[in-house]
Amino acid sequence: MDVGYVWDEEKYRKVQKKHDVMFYEVVNALEDSNGFEQADEAQWEEERWIWLGQTETGRLLVVVYSDEELPLCRIITAFEATGRWVDEYEQRS
């Protein structure tokens, strides 16, 4: 099944301004064959997932998303990985 990605325009602009993350980078990170996901343990109204993946340019991103609307994956936020995220990615790669 092909999956498409959507991101609320207002939320995207906020994330772009705050974290300097572009939509194409997020999609690129989500397609990282070495990337991995885990459940977001925070209590939300919907089930959320966290993906850790690297872009083709080597930028490591944390992407939070919901897949309740498959085949559309709704991106919630994304930011550059630091600290434990980097360590976890390196250990799994």
Question: Over the stretch 13-62, which tens digit does the pLDDT of each residue have?
Answer: 999 999 999 999 999 999 999 999 999 988 778 889 999 999 999 999 99
CA distance linking residue 46 with residue 20, whole number of Å? 26
Let me know if residue 39 belongs to a domain: yes
Domain that holds residue 11: 4-80
Q: Say if residue 1's pLDDT is above 60.
A: no
- Structure tokens, 65: 């998303």
Would you state the pLDDT for residue 20?
Answer: 95
* CATH assignment of the domain containing 31: 3.10.450.530
Would you state the pLDDT for residue 46?
Answer: 85
Let me know if residue 73 belongs to a domain: yes
Let me know if residue 23 belongs to a domain: yes
Let me know if residue 64 belongs to a domain: yes
Strands of 4-7's sheet, edge to edge?
4-7, 72-80, 60-66, 49-54, 36-39
> pTM value?
0.90
